[in-house]
């Protein structure tokens, strides 16, 4: 069996199309990582008082230096000091940014913006839900940030799920595990996770091209007529082809994702992975994770979704003799969750279908990442399930299901 797998891997890997797809996938991963780095911005004044705009690695280094004083735990005292600084500027120049001298803004306000933005999200008008202007939040009130955050989360969930108290209970129970005070290091943030998710989506699309022809190409050329006459040309050959395709595509996935992570994380700094998830996405998120832990889950869920889609494509490849037909159906499956999200009505049943599809964990606006940082629950009878639980479980089941169905389908095709 091992020798057969090695021979099949060698056969598929040596084809020109596989090499082109693999190199293209690696190139796209590197480009995506470089794009994330290039999007970083920093504004300041030079010694002559002229505007200086930095981008890329220079901006990252400048932002890290600027935000160094607030790194570490966002203690109530640190929050109070930040608001004392803000009110000092406000009382002198007012609340409009354009009225604040650039030198004052860059030296006093910009270095505390992560704190101000976090506090702004949790202090809202209870009657309208509109954030309260920062100048109406005193330093003494800002000290109660963590208590106010829990109250804000409770209020938001109670409004969104007013008919499902169990959802509120589950979310608040998870929120109790969120560590406070929050920890902050400037670096890897929402853009990196967003592009990591998009990178995985592109890898899924590209590797379906490889998987689409594994069986159907042999049907199309007639090579399968010879292979099925060999000693192991039935279910054993099916298992070998399936395992070989999964190993090859998983290898491409691992290399490309690793390249993305090494390039982007090295630029932003590995220490930033310790940042509390709430400071990178939403202050009222109830997910008790750091940015690094969240990205590990994104990669893990992405791998399961990747394999589920590859196994689904391999199953299709055992059913059709034309690789183009297989590829069209596989790519359609990749895009279907996004189509359901954008064009659907968002009903409970639609969301179950969307998330349980083989490609339900990836998409342009549909992915494990977006579900992780959102507040979505789906009902199953009287049970309410947090959506990030659904995606990896469904993908794991589908990997096994489509693997078995592919073996069965290929064996029946041989017997025909």
In this structure, the answer to whether residues 144 and 200 fall within a common structural domain is: no
Within a domain: 150: yes
H or E segment at 1? none
CA distance 112 to 79: 9
In this structure, the answer to whether residues 301 and 372 fall within a common structural domain is: yes
Section 287-313 average pLDDT: 95
Nearest to 322, CA basis, from 220, 223, 409, 412:
220
Confidence of residue 218 (pLDDT cuts 50, 70, 90): low
Within a domain: 60: no
CA distance 115 to 79: 7
Cβ 287 vs Cβ 376: under 8 Å: no
Burial profile 175-185: b = 16 or more Cβ within 10 angstroms, e = fewer:
beebebbbbbb
Within a domain: 57: no
Using alpha carbons, list the distances in angstroms from residue 243 to 6, 9, 11, 129, 402: 10, 9, 13, 53, 12
Domain boundary among 181, 205, 226: 181
Helix and strand numbers (H, E) in the chain are 19, 6
Cβ 175 vs Cβ 150: under 8 Å: yes
The total of other beta-carbon atoms located within 10 Å of residue 27's CB is 12
CA distance 383 to 164: 10
pLDDT tens digit string along 393-403?
999 999 999 99
In this structure, the answer to whether residues 232 and 99 fall within a common structural domain is: no
CA distance 215 to 348: 36
CA distance 71 to 121: 20
Within a domain: 271: yes
Whats the size of the chain, residue-wise? Answer: 416
H or E segment at 383? strand 383-386
Within a domain: 16: yes
In this structure, the answer to whether residues 31 and 90 fall within a common structural domain is: no
In this structure, the answer to whether residues 171 and 200 fall within a common structural domain is: no
Structural domain of 257: 2-38+187-415
Within a domain: 53: no
Within a domain: 392: yes
In this structure, the answer to whether residues 245 and 170 fall within a common structural domain is: no
Residue 223 has pLDDT above 80, yes or no: no
pLDDT tens digit string along 304-361?
999 999 999 999 998 888 889 999 999 999 999 999 988 878 889 999 999 999 999 9
In this structure, the answer to whether residues 241 and 307 fall within a common structural domain is: yes
Residue 416 has pLDDT above 50, yes or no: no
Average pLDDT value over all residues in the chain: 88
Residue 95 has pLDDT above 90, yes or no: no
Report field, pTM of the whole predicted structure over 0.75? yes
Q: Which residue has the tokens 């996405």?
A: 281
In this structure, the answer to whether residues 261 and 277 fall within a common structural domain is: yes
Domain count, the chain: 2
The reported pLDDT for the residue numbered 216 is 81
The reported pLDDT for the residue numbered 415 is 44
Domain boundary among 181, 204, 234: 181
In this structure, the answer to whether residues 322 and 347 fall within a common structural domain is: yes
pLDDT tens digit string along 44-72?
887 777 888 989 899 999 999 999 999 99
Residue 172 has pLDDT above 50, yes or no: yes
In this structure, the answer to whether residues 149 and 200 fall within a common structural domain is: no
Residue 174 has pLDDT above 90, yes or no: yes
In this structure, the answer to whether residues 108 and 142 fall within a common structural domain is: yes
In this structure, the answer to whether residues 233 and 255 fall within a common structural domain is: yes
CA distance 145 to 303: 37
Task: Give the list of residues 6+ apart from residue 298 with CB closer than 8 angstroms, or none.
Answer: 193, 196, 197, 200, 368, 369, 372
Ranking 39-53, 217-231, 261-275, 304-318 by mean pLDDT, the lowest is 217-231
The total of other beta-carbon atoms located within 10 Å of residue 302's CB is 27
Within a domain: 124: yes
The total of other beta-carbon atoms located within 10 Å of residue 32's CB is 21
Domain boundary among 181, 216, 238: 181
Burial profile 317-352: b = 16 or more Cβ within 10 angstroms, e = fewer:
bbbbbebeebbebbbebbebbbebbeeeeeeeeebb
**Distance from the Cα of residue 114 to its chain's centroid:** 22
Q: Which residue has the tokens 């160094």?
A: 68
């Amino acid at each position: 069996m091992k020798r057969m797998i090695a021979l099949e891997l060698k056969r598929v890997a040596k084809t020109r199309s596989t090499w082109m797809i693999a190199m293209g996938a690696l190139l796209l991963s590197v480009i995506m990582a470089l794009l994330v780095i290039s999007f970083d911005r920093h504004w300041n004044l030079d010694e002559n008082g002229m505007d200086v705009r930095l981008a890329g690695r220079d901006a990252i280094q400048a932002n890290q230096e600027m935000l160094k004083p607030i790194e570490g735990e966002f203690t109530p005292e640190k929050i109070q000091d930040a608001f004392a600084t803000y009110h000092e500027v406000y009382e002198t120049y007012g609340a409009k940014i354009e009225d604040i001298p650039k030198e004052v803004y860059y030296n006093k306000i910009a270095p505390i913006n992560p704190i101000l933005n976090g506090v702004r999200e949790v202090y809202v008008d209870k009657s309208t839900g509109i954030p309260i202007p920062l100048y109406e939040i005193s330093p003494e009130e800002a000290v109660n940030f963590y208590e106010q955050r829990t109250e804000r989360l409770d209020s938001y969930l109670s409004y969104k799920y007013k008919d499902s108290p169990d959802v509120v209970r589950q979310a608040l129970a998870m929120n109790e595990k969120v560590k406070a005070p929050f920890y902050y290091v400037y670096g890897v943030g929402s853009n990196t996770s967003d592009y990591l998710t998009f990178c995985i989506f592109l890898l899924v699309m590209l590797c379906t091209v490889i998987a689409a022809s594994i069986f159907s190409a042999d049907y199309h050329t007639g090579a399968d007529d010879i292979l099925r006459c060999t000693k192991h040309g039935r279910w054993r050959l099916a298992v070998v082809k399936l395992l070989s395709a999964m190993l090859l595509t998983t290898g491409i996935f691992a290399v490309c994702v690793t390249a993305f992570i090494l390039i982007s994380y090295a630029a932003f700094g590995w220490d930033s992975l310790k940042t509390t998830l709430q400071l990178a996405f939403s202050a009222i998120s109830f997910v008790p994770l750091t940015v690094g832990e969240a990205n590990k889950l994104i990669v893990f869920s992405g791998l399961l979704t990747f394999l589920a889609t590859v196994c689904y494509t391999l199953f299709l490849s055992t059913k059709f003799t034309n690789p183009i037909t297989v590829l069209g159906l596989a790519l359609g499956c990749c895009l279907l969750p996004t189509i359901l999200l954008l064009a659907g009505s968002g009903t409970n049943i639609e969301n179950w279908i969307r998330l349980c599809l083989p490609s339900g964990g990836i998409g342009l606006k549909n992915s494990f990442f977006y579900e992780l940082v959102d507040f979505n629950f789906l009902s199953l009878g009287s049970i309410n399930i947090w959506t990030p639980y659904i995606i990896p479980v469904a993908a794991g089941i589908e990997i096994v299901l489509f693997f078995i169905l592919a073996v069965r389908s290929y064996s029946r095709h041989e017997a025909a």
